Amino acid sequence: MKHFLKAALAGVVIFAGAGVALAQEGPKAEVIHWWTSGGESAAVKTFAESYSKAGGVWVDAAIAGGDNARAAAVNRMIGGNPPAAVQFNIGKQFDDLVDKGMLRNLDDVAVANKWKETLPKPVLDAITRNGHIYAAPINIHGQNWMWYSKGAFEKAGIANPPKSFDELFADLDKLKAAGVVPLALNGQVRHMALIFNSLLVSRGGHDLYIKVYKDHDEKAVNSPEFKKVVEEFGKFRGYVDAGYSSRLWNDATSMLIKNTAGVQFMGDWAKGEFNLAQKAQGKDYGCVVGPGTQNYIIGGDVFIFPKSNDAKQTAAQDLLAKTLLTPEALIAFNLKKGSIPSRTDVDMKAFDQCAQDAAAYIKNPANQLPDYGLVMPPDVVGSIQDLIGEYFTDPKFTPDDFVERFADAISAAG
């Protein structure tokens, strides 16, 4: 028995040794990210598989919470021991790192793999600084989706999903009359802002959205169109239940799953919750962009690649950047993540209907809108979210005050 154990142990040691030896052959890339929930980690695993198929070794460094993950990565970069790649949200989050010269420029990989030809313009703009590309965008998370519960709609006698905000308000009234919570909302101000932005796009249109968020145009903020959006946004106060303020977004989604609420405005990450509850798209729940628009507010995730003096690390980064943006890797990842591929030349037939619709919309450049986080620094986005949350929760807050303070807030974006 003792001998057997010894032999077994020795075998394990040799086996493990061989594993390590094997692992050290390919270029090794340590990747920091914050995809830790069930669906997310399944998604990131597909990247690890794609990378090992391409001959590399993915060393996973998942850190729960975006703030924590980014802080850890930045600390390591300052400390001189950078990871090969770090997940960031697409947008201004990594501006400072670019300015300090801490990131690798990916121009070569981008040119060789036709990023400029295949990425939507808002995405390309968001990863470009001074004409150079500094991040690898891997997905597009649509920000202006509206989800609805088919069961709740049935209870209220609504046959078809709303095609405009006018129809939506009529439907919300019907839901309310049927004793269903019309709008499933949660307490986080950033998610209240999703409703506001959806309304701004659907009602105000593409140009107003761009003028307000991208050009920081105070005239547009003071326009009657913008004020109308603000007034209409206030109407949503009447369609929420008493418990929303301490709810989390996924609990709000489960109200749709249980048919106790009618609609929810949330990005396409909400799909993960429906999938987890084994609800079928088109049968149990449905999706609408807007409603009433084909403009798609684009957000998402990128990987950045810290500069390194280590040639091995650089080689691993090159391979990683190239692999992540191959159509196969993008399809495998985005199927699990609920988002759509960042490249517009990817075959979408494996995806669900919502994702296919979104991909079809953004093929047209006139439908591509940047999320406000892509065009304004995080502190300005934060103060706009605060303002929207304050306005929504305080019925005494007048639209005129809102407009004035909104103009103030965007002026800080410079």
> Which residues are near another protein by CB under 8 A?
66-67, 70-71, 74, 93, 95-97, 100, 187-189, 241-246, 377-379, 381-383, 386, 389-394, 405, 412
By beta-carbon proximity to another protein, the closer residue of 64 and 412 is 412
By beta-carbon proximity to another protein, the closer residue of 147 and 392 is 392
By beta-carbon proximity to another protein, the closer residue of 122 and 373 is 373
Question: CA-CA distance, 121 to 204, in Å (whole number)?
Answer: 21
Least CB distance to another protein at residue 60 (A): 23
By beta-carbon proximity to another protein, the closer residue of 154 and 394 is 394
Q: Which residues contact 214 (CB under 8 A, 6 or more apart)?
A: 370, 375
Least CB distance to another protein at residue 246 (A): 5
Amino acid sitting at position 364:
N
Least CB distance to another protein at residue 192 (A): 8
56 contacts 27 by C-beta, under 8 angstroms: yes
The CA-CA-CA angle for residues 19, 24, 26, to 5°, reads 115
Q: What is the DSSP string of 9-58?
A: HHHHHHHHHHHHHHHTTS-EEEEEE---SHHHHHHHHHHHHHHHHTT-EE
By beta-carbon proximity to another protein, the closer residue of 97 and 172 is 97
- Pseudo-torsion of CA 389, 393, 398, 400, nearest 10°? 10
Least CB distance to another protein at residue 386 (A): 5
Least CB distance to another protein at residue 53 (A): 35
Q: Which residues contact 177 (CB under 8 A, 6 or more apart)?
A: 156
Least CB distance to another protein at residue 135 (A): 15
By beta-carbon proximity to another protein, the closer residue of 26 and 234 is 234
Q: What is the DSSP string of 316-378?
A: HHHHHHHHHTSHHHHHHHHHHHSSEESSTTS--TTS-HHHHHHHHHHTSGGGEEE-HHHHS-H
Helix (H, G, I), strand (E, B) or coil at 100: coil
305 contacts 94 by C-beta, under 8 angstroms: no
**For residue 172, what are its two tokens?**
């919300």
Question: CA-CA distance, 84 to 77, in Å (whole number)?
Answer: 10
| Tokens 């999320």 sit on residue | 371
By beta-carbon proximity to another protein, the closer residue of 25 and 67 is 67
Least CB distance to another protein at residue 52 (A): 32
By beta-carbon proximity to another protein, the closer residue of 111 and 248 is 248
Least CB distance to another protein at residue 211 (A): 24
